[in-house]
Amino acid sequence: MKYRRVLVEADELTEINVSPLIDMVFILLIFFIVTTVFVEETGTEVDKPQALSAQALEKQCILIAITAQGQVIHAGQEIGVGGVRPLVSRLCRDEPLPVVLQVDRNANAGLLVRVIDEAKLGRAKSVSIATDPAQS
């Protein structure tokens, strides 16, 4: 019996089908996009005071900033004190959410109290003031 040797070129053996790999990359990309938590910002930078008892920010909350110039800002737009209650009422319609105030250390205390009152009248779950962690 005579055996024949079949010669196979090296290029045919090293070919890899990458289409399933591309599919997996897209599936992973979609997974990470869907599961990413996006942090909402107030749209302005404030100089927050420091506190030793600072806690982590809740994931779902209403962020409102009060600047040293007396501006009340939500999502980059000035809403004023009069806009706090309608905003909180609208966002808390389905479920009460906590309100976190990012207050500049040089902001007017009277303005802060009025914003807290408006947030509570808008049915906020709680009202907290954001601080930076104190450095020991």
Q: 21-78, pLDDT tens digit by residue?
A: 899 999 999 988 887 766 666 667 777 777 776 677 667 889 999 999 999 999 889 9
- Residues with Cβ within 8 Å of 124's Cβ and at least 6 positions away in sequence, in order, are 62, 88, 92, 96, 97, 98, 99
Please tell me the distance from the alpha carbon of residue 85 to that of residue 121, in angstroms, as a whole number. 6
Q: What is the largest CA-CA distance in the chain?
A: 104
CATH of range 50-133; options 3.30.420, 1.20.120, 2.50.20, 1.10.10: 3.30.420
C-alpha distances in Å from residue 3, one per residue of 6, 10: 10, 21
- pTM of model > 0.95: no
In tens, the pLDDT along 78-112 reads 999 999 999 999 999 999 999 999 999 999 999 99
Contact 64, 101 (CB under 8 A): yes
Domain coordinates in residue numbering, the chain: 50-133
Please say if the pLDDT value at position 10 is more than 80: no
Strand pairing category for 62-66 and 72-74:
antiparallel
Please tell me the distance from the alpha carbon of residue 90 to that of residue 37, in angstroms, as a whole number. 22
Please tell me the distance from the alpha carbon of residue 32 to that of residue 124, in angstroms, as a whole number. 32
